[in-house]
Every structure is written in C-alpha cells, then in structure tokens.
Amino acid sequence: MNQDSMDTTRAVRSRSLETEAVHAGREDLAALGLHAAPLDLSTTYPSCDSRAEAARLDEFAATGARLEGPPVYARLDNPTVARFEEALARLEGAEAAVAFASGMAALSAVLLVRASQGLRHVVAVRPLYGCSDHLLTSGLLGTEVTWTDPAGIADAIRPDTGLVMVETPANPTLAEMNLDAVAHSCGSVPLLVDNTFATPVLQRPVEHGARIVLHSATKYLGGHGDVLGGVVACDEETARDLRRVRFATGGVLHPLAGYLLLRGLATLPVRMRAQSATAAELARRLADDPRVARVHYPGLGGAMVSFEVHGDPHRVIAGVRLITPAVSLGSVDTLIQHPASISHRIIGEADRRTGGISEKLLRMSVGLEDVEDLWHDLDAALGAADGTRSGVTGHSAALGAGLSARPSPRERGPQRAGR
C-alpha cells in the first residue's frame, strides 16, 4: 500500500458504517471525472515491456501481493473486483479481502491454503451451511474435520490443526455463540467465521478475534438475488496466499459480479435494518401462533427467521403465494425453504439432527415487503399445513431486533429454542 492509500485509510477510519458502505472503494472516482464505478470487462491487457512484466509476475508468484501498475490478465486481478474487495475489507475492519466466484470457492481456497502448509485438520462447530459441512466431512480437499461444540474447541485442536470454523448466527437454526470466547479457545489457530447471515452491519468478527471472515456474497452483500460470489476478509498475509490459490485454481469473481456487489454494499445497511425489523415482528407473531412449535430468532437480530411447525412443513412451502419458495437468502424479496430437503440435504440425517435441523424446520429470509402482506401469506400457508382456518389476528408488537427464540404456547417443555 502506498503512502497516499495509507493516508486515505487513516482519514476514513472514523466514518460510520453507512458512509463507508456508500464511499469505500470509490474515493478516487471524482479525480477520475467519474461518478459511478467503471466496469472493466477486459480479460487481458497490453504488456509492452515484457521484461518488466516478467519481474512483476515473479513478485506475485513469490509473495501473492497485488500487482502495482496496470493489470496483466483477469485471472490475476481486475480493477472492478478490486474496488469491491477494498470496500468489503473496510466494512469488516480487515486489512484485505479476496473475492471468488462463489462462497464455496472462497472456503475451498482457505482450506487449500492451510493444507498447503501441512495443516489439514479443521475443528468445526455445527450447524454450518450444508455445503460447507459436506466439503469438510467428505475430505474432498484432503482435509480432516473434528466436530465439536464451542466448549470443546480447545481440546479438539491438534498440532496439525489449521483452522477453526464457526458460523454465527448459524445456518439454518440461527444458533449464536460468543465469538470472544471462541477466539480465546482457538489460541494461535486462525478462527474463520462465516458472517453471511449477520453481515458487517450486525457483527464484525475481526473485532472479536477472528482472523478470517467468510461471506457468501451471493446473499446480503449482493442483496438482489442476481449475482453469485464469495469473499474472504482477512489479514494481508492470508490474502496473499489466497490470491495465489485463486490464480492457480481459477475461481475468480467475474467483473460484472464485482460491479453488482460493490453497488449492493451501498444499500446494505439500509436493507439489513429494514429487513431485520420486519423479521423481528414476524418472529414475534410466529412465536405466539399455536400452529408453530418453536421459533428461532437470534438476539443479534437479522433478517433470517427459522421456525418449526406442528403440521406438514412441505404444505407450508406449497401454500405460500407472495413469499417465494426457493433456496438461498438475502434478497429484497422474502424466500422460504425446507433445509432438510434442500440446503442441508447433502448432510446425513443423523448429522442434521446433531445440528438441530429437524424435519419440521423451515427457514425464511425476510425481504423488504410490507409486514402485513407477509403475515397474511404466512397465515394462509400455516392454515393449509395445519388443516385450520387462516386469519390469526391481534398481533401488534413493536418492531425491532433482539427477540430471543422461544417455543410457542402449545409446546409444554421448558427448553427454549436457539439462544
């Protein structure tokens, strides 16, 4: 990083998250005579001085440092993607960020980096996103995983442990954990936190001791269900290793995706807070509904709600009309899906149960629609699933995040869902 960049970084540290979301990665536009960030779709760039290019490529191969000067080839770097990486690093409070073609490509790169250093063992806490769980369990990348609960992390670490991985709030149960305590248990082993559900609006894991922060950028960072991507926020040393793996394996983020993700970051705080307020209200109503057995909603807040029904969850999926029955999350429209059938189907039934993923569980990603319209749709779908008439009314709780997940009045057991 040159002196001008360092001065710019120092100058913006006191900015609010909302301001950073709008301006990070764009500070040079006015000097360039531009207002919107440019989209660079080039796959290759002129290299008139081949000796100088050889020296730059040698430096990248040795260090993984971002190339100074003009780009060389799109698999090495892209100016549009670099803007998104800079912006996301700033929002997460990290030194750097490296973007990939998907969240799974990003996680794969992290695992490959650690395995290349002889550190193939991973300690992980369930539940995780289903494909993350599968990647670790299958050993497809030569890794070995030990599953444990947060209290068992320190005892599970071995000399060849390269990573501790957690997701909080977790997918799909929204279980939370104390990141400060988890980071302390990791000792010198890097802690990777999947921050997809919380986003830097609600949680910045680096501030709690995490060294690596993973996002499926497809979700809230993009925010509109029209872009696929992944990104890792981390220290510069880790970023250099990740860039070399990205170059070697080719899991690059397309420039158009980088452009859309940078644009998505600008509205991320506004979207997350509006969606979270609606989600909290829906969680309250679901918790009071006798057709619902249990509601999971994190104390951190957020736009995700999971709930278990007494009736047939598949009939709820089939019964919605306004809400979209689809996998994924984080879009401006509300989505609902059955994790045991789709997002976590790839995990064995016993392991799903270990992670708290029951056959009755539904996961809902709350969008920007009006809360009353969403509730009307949910009410009708729940009625169809339970064989009762729809039309539950009388819910007027104030909006706001922070509702603790709890069982509905029909459930007599003392145990509370979630945390």
Residue 115: closest CA among 160, 61, 148: 160
CB 325 within 8 A of CB 317: yes
Could you confirm whether 129 is annotated as catalytic? Answer: yes
Q: What angle do CA 158, 161, 166 make, to 5 degrees?
A: 115
pLDDT given at position 393:
42
Residues in contact with 365: Cβ distance below 8 Å, sequence separation at least 6, in sequence order = 303, 304, 328, 329, 330, 331, 334, 335, 336
Residue 68: beta bridge partners? none
At residue 197, the 3 state secondary structure works out as: coil
Taking only Cα atoms into account, the Rg of the chain, rounded to an integer number of angstroms, comes to 22
**How far apart, in whole angstroms, are the C-alpha atoms of residue 378 and residue 364?**
10
- Cα–Cα separations (whole angstroms), residue 377 to 267, 280, 282, 388, 418: 27, 17, 12, 14, 25
Which residue is it, tokens 């999350």? 329
Could you confirm whether 45 is annotated as catalytic? Answer: no
Give the number of C-alpha atoms closer than 13 A to the C-alpha of residue 177, restricted to the C-beta side: 29
The torsion angles phi and psi of 234, rounded to 5 degrees, stand at -165, -175
Residues in contact with 371: Cβ distance below 8 Å, sequence separation at least 6, in sequence order = 278, 281, 282, 399
Characterize the bridge pairing of strands 121-125 and 96-100. unpaired
pLDDT given at position 390:
53
pLDDT given at position 155:
98
Q: What angle do CA 168, 171, 174 make, to 5 degrees?
A: 60
**How far apart, in whole angstroms, are the C-alpha atoms of residue 381 and residue 392?**
12
pLDDT given at position 350:
82
Instruction: Count the Cβ atoms, other than its own, within 10 Å of residue 225.
Output: 18
Catalytic-role residue among 26, 114, 126, 129 = 129
Q: Residue 192 has which token pair?
A: 């990777």
pLDDT given at position 412:
31
**How far apart, in whole angstroms, are the C-alpha atoms of residue 335 and residue 319?**
13
- Cα–Cα separations (whole angstroms), residue 132 to 106, 116, 125, 167, 343: 11, 19, 11, 10, 11
pLDDT given at position 355:
76
DSSP letter for 16, please.
Answer: -
Catalytic-role residue among 77, 133, 194, 379 = 194
Residues in contact with 302: Cβ distance below 8 Å, sequence separation at least 6, in sequence order = 169, 174, 197, 198, 202, 272, 276, 279, 401
pLDDT given at position 186:
98
pLDDT given at position 300:
96
Could you confirm whether 219 is annotated as catalytic? Answer: yes
**How far apart, in whole angstroms, are the C-alpha atoms of residue 238 and residue 233?**
9
List, run by run, the mean pLDDT of 10-residue segments along the chain (419 residues). 46 80 97 97 94 93 93 95 98 98 98 97 96 95 97 98 98 96 98 98 98 98 98 98 97 98 98 98 98 97 97 95 96 95 80 82 97 98 76 37 41 32
pLDDT given at position 264:
98
**How far apart, in whole angstroms, are the C-alpha atoms of residue 150 and residue 399?**
31
Amino acid at 71: P
Residue 361: beta bridge partners? 308
Query: CA quadruple 214, 220, 225, 226: dihedral positive or negative?
Result: negative
Residue 288: closest CA among 396, 369, 387, 377: 396
Widest distance between CA atoms in the chain: 76
pLDDT given at position 346:
77
Catalytic-role residue among 90, 120, 204, 219 = 219
Could you confirm whether 259 is annotated as catalytic? Answer: no
Catalytic-role residue among 15, 66, 73, 75 = 75
For the entire predicted model, the pTM comes to 0.89
- Dihedral, CA of residue 243, residue 248, residue 249 and residue 253, to nearest 10: 40
